[in-house]
A = this chain, B = another copy of it.
Amino acid sequence: MSAPANARARVRAQLTREIVDAAQRELAAVGAAGLSLRAVARRLDMAPSALYRYFESRDALLTALIVEAYEAVGEAAERADAGAGPVPERRWEAVARAVRRWGHEHPHEWALVYGSPVPGYRAPQDTVAAALRITAVVAGIVADAVPPGSAATGRLPAGPAGLGPALAPVAAVLLPGRPPEIVAGALMAWTQLIGTVSLELFGHYVGATEDFALVFDYTMQSVAAVIGLPTT
């Protein structure tokens, strides 16, 4: 991210960028399963082995694409939130629609991020930071709607005694001082959003509805009502 010192590092950074771009185009065309290192090399008129100077394996390249996709969907959510005015319910609705739209525009990237983990298991450290971006958006909406110390306001039932401690890690980072039902509600809302878009994109709603956009909007409105987002 910072400016490279010598010219050598500058051209290296640029070529790394070009590789990722080419890989992104390849991903959009054929999907993660069909993404071939050699095809990326062909796009760039390079020898396949030359790519190994920049990414130590195909999985490392995929990890870079995962980070890129997380950033992109996070940015889409942030932009929608920023342009949605002050009403929490409207902010949530705008973010949900933007996320769904991004998924429709980038189905392969979506599958890469929210579908099955491609390698044995994901490299956490690089990706979690980028993944946090979208969760921070939905947590921010909830956080603005229910200030610290207030009681649960939605239509969720009272949680068991252990709910607070169980959710302590995520609450500490994203929603400090809120009742556990609110934290769980935010988690549920995020899950419902990602889950709905995933099931739609992966074809699990095929034949279920005539107009899924309408059902999606109603679903997200319901979620907002359930967790108690103010409509004014």
Contact = CB atoms under 8 A, between A and B. Distances in A.
A71 B199 CA distance: 18
A45 to B, nearest CB: 27
Contact of A188 (B122, B160, B184, B222): B222
Contact of A121 (B203, B207, B209, B221): B203
Interface of A: 31-33, 111-112, 114-122, 124, 128, 131, 155-157, 159-160, 162-163, 165-170, 184-185, 187-188, 191-192, 194-196, 198-199, 202-204, 206-212, 214-215, 218-219, 221-223, 225-226
Given A33-B33, A206-B128, A215 B167 contact: yes
B121 A215 contact: no
Total identical chains: 2
Nearest to A207: B169
Given A115-B115, A169-B207, 10 more contacts: A33-B33, A115-B116, A155-B226, A159-B218, A167-B208, A167-B209, A184-B219, A184-B222, A194-B199, A195-B199
Nearest to A159: B218
B195 A208 contact: no
A116 B211 CA distance: 23
Contacts of A166: 209-212, 214-215
A191 to B, nearest CB: 5
